[in-house]
Amino acid sequence: KKVVYLFREGRADMKFLLGGKGANLAEMTRSRLPVPPGFTISTEACSSFFAANETLTEDTMGQVRAAIRQLETETGKRLGDSQNPLLVSVRSGSVFSMPGMMDTILNLGLNDETAEGLAKLTRNPRFAYDCYRRFIQMFGDVVLGVDYYHFEQIIHSRKEAQGYKQDTEMSAEDWKWVIGQFKSLIREKTKKEFPQDPEHQLKQSIIAVFQSWNNQRAQIYRKIHKIPDHLGTAVNIQMMVFGNMGDDSGTGVAFTRNPSTGEKELYGEFLMNAQGEDVVAGVRTPQPIARLKQQMPAVYQQFQEICNLLEQHYHDMQDIEFTVERGQLYILQTRAGKRTAQAAVKIAVNMVEEGIIDRDQALMRVDPDQLNQMLHRRLDPEAKLTVIAKGLPASPGAASGKIVFDADRAEKCAHDGTPVILVRPETTPEDIHGILAAQGILTSRGGMTSHAAVVARGMGKACICGCEQLEIDLRKKEVAIGELLLREGDLISIDGSTGQVIQGEVPLIDPELSAEFKQLLDWADQVRTLQVRANADNPEDSAKARELGAEGIGLCRTEHMFMEAGRVPIVQQMILAETRDERLQALQKLLPMQKEDFKGIFEVMAGLPVNIRLLDPPLHEFLPNIEDLLVELTKMQMDEQSDRTELIRKEALLRKVRSLHEFNPMLGHRGCRLGLIYPEIYKMQAEAIFLAAAECLKQGIQVEPEIMIPLVGHVNELRQMRELVDQAAEEVQLKTGCTIPYTVGTMIEVPRAALTAGEIAEEADFFSFGTNDLTQTTFGYSRDDAEGKFLHTYVENKILPDNPFITLDTEGVGQLVRMGVEQGRMKKPGLKTGICGEHGGEKRSIQFCHEVDLNYVSCSPFRVPLARLSAAQAVI
């Protein structure tokens, strides 16, 4: 089986076989761009490697050797030839790009002899030894497992002894000394000599790169970005070109557009006299690409042309790695650039305007999950700030938190709920879990194209890089900025849009929605067929929802209104009432308050439907908890001075709380079961809704109330509650002389309701699928118990593909939804259907809602943009 492909044999669409890097190197080779020759070992070889217990099959190695011979013919150099050695890089490259998460080895093929040969051939011993020491270092780290840090230590000691500041000051002799030390280090750590045979080096490197698929950081990265574990990585073997040959050489990375803001400008960095890793690893802070224009105008011009070409070719913003060897430009990688949400939206819209992509493509370009980033609060530009330092604005957004200096600590703090800013000299891919946990990232070294910055942008985290004023002491856990000394736990803020580091916390304000954001969502609205509503239960949230494009309220929970300050005692009075009269008295007090609640929402949502759910939770949720009460009572009983009547009241309360105690409240006396046993509660709510509606109508405000009865399982429940609501409506209409355009419907949130949807539809004007409860009752999981106890393990061990409370279980719960819609519509064509569970704001669930032909999804106000885009993507 063919598992090795020369670059000229591949194409961009062979990404699953060749990995992203390999497929694009092939595509560029085809397009006659200056790509050093090479070949790719496919992801299938990786799978065979793991299937064969991590051994490289003889078949694979045979094909590799044959490809090496091809490469030798093509380049006129030979692997291991001391006169004219072929040097190659061994580069990982998975299907979906995972910047820096896996390993790469450069300058392979060097040994004591070929290093001398290279020195003679190039008449540049300094360069040859620099290459050799880099190779030993990478091979030692990646293949032999000798910590990178030990190598750095040796270089550092030499620089110190010689009084150098930069690596570039090291002479041939210095590097030669370093090489000697490196080899001793390896002998000491591995009890073996550094391997001299290039073929052995090659085989071991391929194995190590395959294995790096399973290193910890790669696993974490895959989990965060939902990349399947079985894909594996390809390996690219490529002739080396050298950016470290002197001052007419260098290496760099550039984005064809600004990946933070989306601005159309070349955004990149480069280092003179360096090898690739130096830029992306974030060890040295490189120079902005504009400098290249001054230093090598012809190269810059050529590079810019290639950038344009690649963008046109791939119809997307590209992230390009390049190297200049003695004035000659080489392209080493191109891929779709990772970008922030803001940039994603701007680039998509601009590219439509530039005619590079069409609207549908633009809509598919933006991940709905990313949109929330754009709704993050931002720094108040009016605020007075104590700016203490400035670095490179690597990923926008404002973040505040306590300083921590390592990733493990960041993870721990975040786990305890403390927001932190991860402060590091540089971040390496090893820090990925810390980057995920932190609110923001601040580094003293590294550029805007460093892996840390790329990863932060991909996650939408605020990030500042290369803030060189910071003097970080990791051991003492301190950072000095001039005179100022900050310690772990001190509060700082960063603004990733400007690069400002600020002492203390900062005031945040609502985001400004860009013109491109509105444009894209406008296009989404033209495409989608699902309507988007919001879940909101007060005028502020309703206004926010409307501003973000909601076309109505899909769920207004009335229980939150009962919890509002000042109302709890009245609600308790209602619950504690011993007689119906007493209960009615309390309800009469609540009525005007509820009426005002609804009026506020109706006013904001004028002209749009508002779906109001009558009281749903078990009553004990409004009462104090038993333990607290007991403690209080004991205290009162022991205190001579305590008020007798208060004591008696508390005792009565305790009795009532005890009597309302349920073994399983989720399945207890709640939902319409409350309305059936205490009809006066629902009656009051219905009256309040209609009175509010009538008042609005009189003021010329259009209203469209939808009254929703929760937790119905049998049609009789709905029939009786509907009668009650209709009666309330009639009374109010009679009293006010208004005709109120209302409808009555139900939630479908227990399996029996879905199973008997046909019958229920006879009494319902609409169905709203309450998929939170429907998931609980279908799986038989109590959500609060499941999430803490076993669901996590279930997902981890792939017993369930996803947490069903986050992503709708389309195979189980979804079938009930599908069945409910079909049977309901069979009985009542045109029955309005929607979803109001948390799934209404999740992209994959929205896709499903579109497929089963719901009329609308409803989600929290801030998810409305996400839902609009997802609904459009479901159509495309």
Residues near ligand ADP (CB under 6 A) are 36, 89, 91-92, 99-100, 104, 106, 238-241, 251, 276-277, 280, 321, 323, 332-333
Q: Which is nearer to ligand ADP, 449 or 500 (CB)?
A: 449
**CB of 330 vs ligand ADP, minimal distance in Å:** 7
Q: Degrees (nearest 5) of the Cα angle 869, 871, 873?
A: 70
- Residue 562 burial (C-beta neighbours within 10 Å; 0-12, 13-18, 19+): buried
- Residue 115 near residue 129 (C-beta atoms within 8 A): yes
Name the residue type at position 253: V
- Please enumerate, by residue number, every residue annotated as part of a binding site for Mg(2+): 749, 773
Q: Which residues pair with 238 in a beta bridge?
A: 38, 89
CA neighbours within 13 Å on the CB side: how many for 151? Answer: 21
State the sign of the Cα–Cα–Cα–Cα dihedral 753, 757, 763, 769: positive
CA separation for the pair 44, 48 (Å, rounded): 6
Name the residue nearer to Mg ion (CB basis): 391 or 770: 770
Nearest residue to 744 via CA among 804, 869, 831, 666:
831
Nearer to ligand ADP, 236 or 870 (CB): 236
Of 104 and 258, nearer to ligand ADP (C-beta) is: 104
Provide, rounded to whole angstroms, the least separation between the CB of residue 249 and ligand ADP: 11
Residue in 376, 433, 451, 850 annotated catalytic: 451
* Coil, strand or helix at 218: helix
d(CA 245, CA 321): 18
Length of the chain: 876
Q: Which does 425 bind (CB under 5 to 8 A by kind): Mg ion, ligand ADP, none?
A: none
Site string for Mg ion, 716-755 (x = CB under 5 A): ---------------------------------x------
Q: Compute the distance between CA of residue 54 and CA of residue 376 in angstroms, rounded to an integer.
A: 45
Known catalytic residue at 836: yes
> Closest CB to ligand ADP among 36 and 466?
36
Residue 770 binds which of Mg ion, ligand ADP, none (CB < 5-8 A, kind-dependent): Mg ion
User: Of 233 and 373, which CB lies nearer to ligand ADP in the complex structure?
Assistant: 233
The CB-of-380 to ligand ADP minimum distance in angstroms stands at: 38
Which class for 515: exposed (0-12), middle (13-18), buried (19 or more C-beta within 10 A)?
exposed
Nearer to Mg ion, 495 or 749 (CB): 749
Mention every residue, 6+ apart, whose C-beta is less than 8 A from residue 381. Answer: none
Q: What is the largest CA-CA distance in the chain?
A: 105
Residue 332 or 576 having the CB closest to ligand ADP: 332
What gap in Å lies between CA 665 and CA 674, rounded to an integer? 12
Q: Per CB under 5 A, does 838 bind Mg ion?
A: no
Q: Which does 241 bind (CB under 5 to 8 A by kind): Mg ion, ligand ADP, none?
A: ligand ADP
Residue 130 interacts, among Mg ion, ligand ADP, none and using kind-specific CB cut-offs from 5 to 8 Å, with none
Cβ nearer to Mg ion, comparing 618 with 770: 770
User: Token pair for residue 229?
Assistant: 């574990």
Q: Which is nearer to Mg ion, 101 or 143 (CB)?
A: 101
CA angle 148–151–156, rounded 5-degree value: 120
Q: Which does 717 bind (CB under 5 to 8 A by kind): Mg ion, ligand ADP, none?
A: none
Q: Which residues are annotated as a binding site?
A: 557, 613, 749, 770-773
Q: What is the 3-state secondary structure of 425-440?
A: CCCCHHHHHHHHHCCE
CA 52 to chain centre: 35
Q: Which structure tokens are listed for 419?
A: 């927001």
CB of 150 to ligand ADP, least distance (A): 21
Residue 545, binding choice from Mg ion, ligand ADP, none, Cβ under 5 to 8 Å by partner class: none
CA Rg value for the chain: 33
Which x/- pattern over 280-319 shows residues binding Mg ion (rule: CB under 5 A)?
----------------------------------------
Nearer to ligand ADP, 256 or 611 (CB): 256
The interface partner of residue 87, options being ligand ADP, Mg ion, none and the CB cut-off 5 to 8 Å by kind, is none
Cα–Cα distance, 111 to 80 (Å, whole number) = 8
Residues annotated in a binding site for substrate: 557, 613, 749, 770-773
As measured in angstroms, the least distance from the Cβ of 239 to ligand ADP is: 6
Q: Which residues pair with 532 in a beta bridge?
A: 857
Q: How far is the CB of 235 from ligand ADP (least distance, A)?
A: 10
* Residue 96, number of CB atoms within 10 A of its CB: 15
- Report how far residue 225's alpha carbon sits from residue 256's, in angstroms, rounded to the nearest whole number: 23
**How far apart, in whole angstroms, are the C-alpha atoms of residue 206 and residue 652?**
76
Site of tokens 């002479």: 171
- Sheet strands side by side (includes 491-495): 387-390, 500-503, 491-495, 398-404, 420-424, 440-443, 462-465, 392-395
Distance CA 854, CA 834 (A): 5
Two tokens, residue 658: 């005890």
Catalytic residue (choose from 131, 463, 465, 836): 836
CB–CB of 296/278 below 8 Å?
no
**Cβ 208 vs Cβ 144: under 8 Å:** no
Least distance to Mg ion from the beta carbon of 388, Å?
34
Of residues 750-789, which lie at the interface with Mg ion (CB under 5 A)? Answer: 770, 773
Closest to 276 (Cα-Cα) out of 149, 105, 418: 105
Minimum separation from the CB atom of position 154 to Mg ion (A): 26
Total number of residues that touch Mg ion (CB under 5 A): 4
Token pair in block for residue 445 = 């070294």
CB of 215 to ligand ADP, least distance (A): 12
Q: Choosing among Mg ion, ligand ADP, none, which partner's interface includes residue 323 (Cβ < 5 to 8 Å by kind)?
A: ligand ADP
Q: How far apart are CA 654 and CA 91, in angstroms?
A: 70
91 binds, among ligand ADP, Mg ion, none (CB under 5 to 8 A by kind): ligand ADP
Rounded Cα gap, residues 139 and 134, in angstroms: 8
Question: Closest distance between ligand ADP and the C-beta of residue 258, in Å?
Answer: 20
Query: At closest approach, how far in Å is the CB of 759 from ligand ADP?
Result: 60
* Tokens matching residue 115: 């290093």
Which residue's CB comes closest to Mg ion? 773
Chain residue at closest Cβ approach to ligand ADP: 276
Which of ligand ADP, Mg ion, none does residue 238 bind to, with CB < 5 to 8 Å depending on kind?
ligand ADP
3-class DSSP string for 708-775: EECCCCCHHHHHHHHHHHHHHHHHHHHHHCCCCCCEEEEEECCHHHHHCHHHHHHHCCEEEECHHHHH
Residue numbers at the binding site for Mg ion (CB under 5 A):
333, 749, 770, 773
> Which residues are catalytically annotated?
451, 836
